[in-house]
Amino acid sequence: MNKNVKLLLIIILTAVISSGLTLTLAKPETIVQEKEVQQNPDFAKLVDTYEKLEQKYYQKTDKEKMVDGAINGMVESLGDPYSAYMNAEDSKSFNETISSSFEGIGAELQEIDGQVMIVSPIKGSPAEKAGLKPKDKIIKVNGKSVKGKTVNDTVALIRGEKGTPVKLGIERGGSQQLEFSITRDEIPIETVYTNVTDDNIGRIQVTTFSEKTAADFSKAVKNLEEKEVKGIVIDLRQNPGGLMDEAIKMSEMFIPEGKNILQVENKDGSREAYRSENKDPVTIPSAVVVDEGTASAGEIMAAALNESADIPLFGEKTFGKGTIQTAEQYKDGSSIKFTIAKWLTPGGTWVHKKGIEPGEKVSLPSYAKLPYLDPSKPLKPGDASKEVKTAQAFLNALGYRTEENGLFDPKMKEAVMNYQKDHDLKQTGIIEKDTAISMLTSLQELVKKNDTQMNKAIEALKK
C-alpha cells in the first residue's frame, strides 16, 4: 500500500492522563492560518461581541482566554466527544509525548454525555495496577466532583509529577462507587510485546498504535517466522487505538494484494477503499483476541484481518469507535482535533457504537472482573461493607473459602490468616496495605494463568 495515509485515528483526543495532555498521535502537520473575519458576515456577531466585551466589560479582559473560549465553544457545539480544542500549553505537552515516555497514571479517556469514562488503562501503568477498568466513569478527583467537566478539565486535575498521588472516585456498573489512590509514574511508550508458548505458538500483544508500532510489530512477526512457530495470536485486548496508518501497515502484512483493508466514507458520502498491495502476505495460521477495550485503530485491524485474511476473532465485543480525526495547529501553538470521516470495515460495515462481535465469544473467569481492593483502606474483624464483600470474593477466587456476605466474621479472619501464612505475611487477620497488595498481585497472576480467551485462541491454532 503506497498511499501516504496522514489521517489520525483517535480513540480520544485527550487520551492519556499525564503531566501533559498526551496521545499517541503523529504531530499535526497542517498549520492553520488565521484569516480575517471581517469580510465573513457569519462572524460579524462574534467579532462584535468580542469588541463589546473588550471595550465595555467592567474589568480588564484576557484576550487570549476570550479567543480560546470562543474556539472551544465552537468545537464543543459539535457534540462530538472525539473533537476538541487544546490551548498552546496542552498542545505542547500533547506533542512532546507522542514518541517518548510521559509521567502520569496511564489511562485512555473519553467524554460521553458530560461524563469522563476510561476506555482502557495502559499495560503496566499505575492505572492498570490499581485496577481501573474500561467503562469506569470518573466522578471525583481528589474528592472534588468532575461532573459536567470536559476531558481536558479532568486531565488537568489528574495530571502531575512522578511519585505524587491522586485519588479518583469511580462509578462502576452504574451503581458501584469506588475510590482509587494512584501514584503517578513514568509511562514508557512501548506498544508491542511478544513471547512463545511451550506449544510453539507465538503471541504478540499490541497495546496501542503509535509512531513505531508498525515497525516493532513487523520485527516481532519476522522473529516468530524465523522461530518457525505453529501459529500467531495477536492480542488487541485493552488496545484503545491511536494512529490509523500504523494499523493499516500492520494489517497489510497479513492481507493478500487487492483485498480491502478498510473503507473511508467522506462528508459527501463518497467512499475510498484502502487496498493491500502485499504480494507476499504472512501465511502462518493466526488468530486475534479482542475485548470491550479494543477500540478505534484496534478495531480497524481486527476487522481487516477477519474479513480480508480470514483470521478468526476470539473474546468479547469491541468498544465501537468508527470515526477518523485530524489534528491542525495554529501559529500560537494551540490546536484543534476534529472528526473528518467515518471508517468502515473491508465489507463496508460501520461499527460505531456497535462494536465488532468475535466469531468465537469467550469470557474471562468471573473473578477477572472483581472490583478493586483498595490497599489504603484496612479491613478488620467486625467490619461490614461492600469492600469486605469484595475481599471475600478475592479470597474465594484464590482458594481461601469464606462466605461472601460483606461481614468480616471469624471465618473470614481465619481465611485471611491462612492467606497471610502462605504468602509470608504477618498473620494479623487484618487486610492492611501489604496483604491487600499481595492479594491484588495474586489475583492478577491467577487471571493471567487462566486466560480463557488467549487459551481458546491457542487451542484453535494447535489443531
Name the grid cell of 311. 483470521
Catalytic residue among 128, 252, 307, 387: 307
**Nearest partner of 341 among 292, 400, 270, 258, judged by Cα:** 270
**Nearest partner of 459 among 320, 360, 356, 370, judged by Cα:** 360
Decide the pairing of beta strands 137-141 and 165-172. Answer: antiparallel
Q: What is the DSSP letter of 383?
A: -
Catalytic residue among 321, 337, 342, 413: 321
Give yes or no for a contact between 334 and 88, defined as CB atoms under 8 angstroms apart: yes
What is 270-310 written as a DSSP string? Answer: -EEEEE---SS---S-EEEEE-TT--THHHHHHHHHHHHH-
CA 362 to chain centre: 21
List Cα–Cα distances, 177 to 15, 41, 126, 436, in angstroms: 23, 50, 20, 19
Catalytic annotation present for 321? yes
The sign of the dihedral angle between the CA atoms of 314, 320, 324, 325 is negative
The sign of the dihedral angle between the CA atoms of 208, 213, 218, 223 is negative
Q: Residues, the chain, total?
A: 463
Catalytic annotation present for 83? no
Q: Which amino acid is at 457?
A: A
What is the C-alpha radius of gyration for the chain, rounded to an integer number of angstroms? Answer: 24
List Cα–Cα distances, 27 to 186, 209, 210, 302, in angstroms: 21, 14, 11, 25
Question: 3-state DSSP call for residue 50?
Answer: helix
Neighbours of 221 (CB within 10 A): 23
C-alpha to C-alpha distance for 98 and 141, rounded to whole angstroms: 25
Question: 3-state DSSP call for residue 430?
Answer: coil
Catalytic residue among 276, 296, 308, 335: 296
Catalytic annotation present for 307? yes
Residues with a catalytic annotation lie at 296, 307, 321
